[in-house]
A and B are shown apart, each in its own frame.
Chain A
Amino acid sequence: MSSTAREWREIPGRYNLKGSKCPECGKVFFPKRSMCPLCRRASIGKMIEYKVERKGTVYTYSVVYDVPEANKRMKPYVVGMIRTDDDILLTAQIVDVDPENVEIGMRVQAVLRKIDDDGPSGVIHYGFKFAPCE
């Protein structure tokens, strides 16, 4: 599968935090899975769509100086683990706040931003990042 096709399949997850939930044990997966690794066969074909809460708190974070080429204009930036209000841990960039002002426990919400692109003539990838709550 080409990377564009794979990216396309991931759009519901990247735009709207759509994961999946196992109907057997109730465990939530993000990114979504087509099978629950605990319930295995019993979950095949039964996984249900689950929308992860867009608001949460910063669980932990670090300031990134060694950045990929595509993010050079943003350096340094913050990558954090966010515990969403429905208790899912997500890793994402934290934007619209200076690195020195990020705090553990800070309230944040998911926003859509550019993640990277496949060069000047390639596809632009959009996805979620977190920004301080208004």
Chain B
Amino acid sequence: MDVGIVSYGAYVPRYRITPEEIGKVWGENGKAMGKGLFIEQKSVPAPDEDVVTISVAAARAMMARTDVDPREIGALYVGSESHPYAVKPTSTIVAEAIEATPDLTAADMEFACKAGTAGIQVCMGLVGSGMIEYGVAIGADTSQGAPGDALEYSASAGGAAYLIGKKNIIAKINRTISYTTDTPDFWRREGQDYPSHGGRFTGEPAYFRHITNATQRLLADAGTKPGDYDYAVFHQPNGKFPTRVAAMMGFTEAQITKGLMTPYIGNTYSGAVPIGLASVLDIAKPGDRILVVSYGSGAGSDAFDITVTDRIRKYKREAAPTVEKIVSNVKYVDYATYAKFKGKIKMEE
């Protein structure tokens, strides 16, 4: 039986900061930096927002668009590298907030930026095997870049939630494959506030190698070529990498534009590909074919071949705001406010 997406929802905090504003503080040409990364601005969470609240907002948007009873959800996974607790799951809080408790399994996932798509794969397996009726996979992050580090220009906050099931699917997941190796391109040790990265090492052997391998293997399995897809969503740590990787493999700008949100919201890490796909589903028509390829440092890529079904015509998309709507309601903050919001200023306890 077909397994696919029954519903989805996205959320991005409303505050934004520009690369120019960040560069001013560090004596860098932020504007040029933003141009190089294809990032116009990035989202900043309010002081009372974290991965729990972002995940709940996305999950509630997802539930608002469907009539599925939350008690029919048998599994819920939240993928993130910024879970608020080191020990104490985000997923239980989200499950409680959408009233899916207590008859379900829940866990937090971690795999740098691809923990959200890993959750989708797990849900597909559980649903496909008949163990559960519906599963929820969420990718969300409130990423931090060390002050003054290149990552500070892109690391942002946001997330999206997916309800995976067999009944009333709006998009069928035809197949998924992964490409995984041990590659130390980006890491954060326990107790460290900010991640470290291997500089130039993050490009060729990491992002590009995993995305192209996963994509080519998926296309070979599916017997498709880049031109068969109406949309393609690639992991987007900035705007530049996905644009380049798309061109390298023969995908056009028209195919990637709708799913490329990083230029407007920054790098939402585990939220990036899920939000990009949500943006595509916001306008997708029956029969549209979508290629989705995530990337997580460490390193691995999950690739998905998706076909939109007729059911999307009856889907209550309007019951929650579209990604376009979410990213249009913004308020710009200066660096001082941003630092205060993100807790970069230590305060007396």
**A interface residues with partner B (beta carbon < 8 Å):** 11, 15-16, 71-74, 95-96, 98, 111-115, 119-120, 124, 126, 129, 134
B341 contacts the other chain (Cβ, under 8 Å)? yes
Enumerate chain B residues within 8 angstroms of A72, measured Cβ to Cβ.
Answer: 347
A74-B48, A98-B331 known; A15-B53 Cβ under 8 A = no
Are A73 and B97 neighbours in the complex by a CB distance under 8 Å?
A: no
A73-B47, A96-B46 known; A114-B331 Cβ under 8 A = no
Enumerate chain B residues within 8 angstroms of A124, measured Cβ to Cβ.
Answer: 50, 52, 84-85
B325 contacts the other chain (Cβ, under 8 Å)? yes
A16-B99, A73-B343, A120-B349 known; A114-B57 Cβ under 8 A = no
B329 contacts the other chain (Cβ, under 8 Å)? yes
Cα distance A114–B90 in the bound complex, in angstroms: 13
Cα distance A74–B349 in the bound complex, in angstroms: 16
**Choice from A74, A114, A120 contacting B50 with Cβ under 8 Å:** A114
**B interface residues with partner A (beta carbon < 8 Å):** 14, 46-50, 52-53, 56-57, 60, 84-85, 93, 96-97, 99, 321, 325-326, 329, 331, 340-341, 343, 347, 349
Cα distance A102–B295 in the bound complex, in angstroms: 41
Cα distance A129–B47 in the bound complex, in angstroms: 13
Can you list 26 A-B contacts (CB < 8 A)? A11-B96, A15-B96, A16-B97, A16-B99, A71-B47, A73-B340, A73-B343, A95-B46, A96-B46, A98-B331, A111-B53, A112-B57, A113-B53, A114-B47, A114-B48, A114-B49, A114-B50, A114-B52, A114-B53, A120-B349, A124-B50, A124-B52, A124-B84, A126-B53, A129-B48, A134-B321
Enumerate chain B residues within 8 angstroms of A111, measured Cβ to Cβ.
Answer: 53, 57
Which residue of A is nearest B61, CB measured? A134
Which residue of B is nearest A134, CB measured? B321
Cα distance A127–B233 in the bound complex, in angstroms: 34
Enumerate chain B residues within 8 angstroms of A15, measured Cβ to Cβ.
Answer: 96-97
Cα distance A47–B341 in the bound complex, in angstroms: 42
Cα distance A74–B85 in the bound complex, in angstroms: 22
Q: How many A-B residue pairs have CB under 8 A?
A: 54
* Closest beta carbon of chain A to B78's beta carbon, Å: 14
A73-B341, A126-B53 known; A113-B48 Cβ under 8 A = yes
Enumerate chain B residues within 8 angstroms of A11, measured Cβ to Cβ.
Answer: 96
Are B349 and A112 neighbours in the complex by a CB distance under 8 Å?
A: no
CB-based closest 5 A-B pairs: A73-B47, A113-B48, A114-B48, A134-B321, A112-B56
Cα distance A96–B56 in the bound complex, in angstroms: 16
* Closest beta carbon of chain A to B61's beta carbon, Å: 9
Cα distance A72–B48 in the bound complex, in angstroms: 11
A16-B99, A134-B321 known; A74-B46 Cβ under 8 A = yes
Cα distance A124–B88 in the bound complex, in angstroms: 10
* Closest beta carbon of chain A to B81's beta carbon, Å: 18
Cα distance A120–B329 in the bound complex, in angstroms: 32
Enumerate chain B residues within 8 angstroms of A73, measured Cβ to Cβ.
Answer: 47, 340-341, 343, 347
* Closest beta carbon of chain A to B7's beta carbon, Å: 17
* Closest beta carbon of chain A to B105's beta carbon, Å: 20
A74-B47, A74-B48 known; A96-B97 Cβ under 8 A = no
Cα distance A72–B14 in the bound complex, in angstroms: 20
Known: A119-B349, A126-B53. 6 other contacts (CB 8 A): A11-B96, A73-B347, A95-B46, A112-B60, A113-B48, A134-B325
Cα distance A41–B349 in the bound complex, in angstroms: 47
Enumerate chain A residues within 8 angstroms of B349, measured Cβ to Cβ.
Answer: 119-120
Enumerate chain B residues within 8 angstroms of A119, measured Cβ to Cβ.
Answer: 349
Enumerate chain A residues within 8 angstroms of B326, measured Cβ to Cβ.
Answer: 134
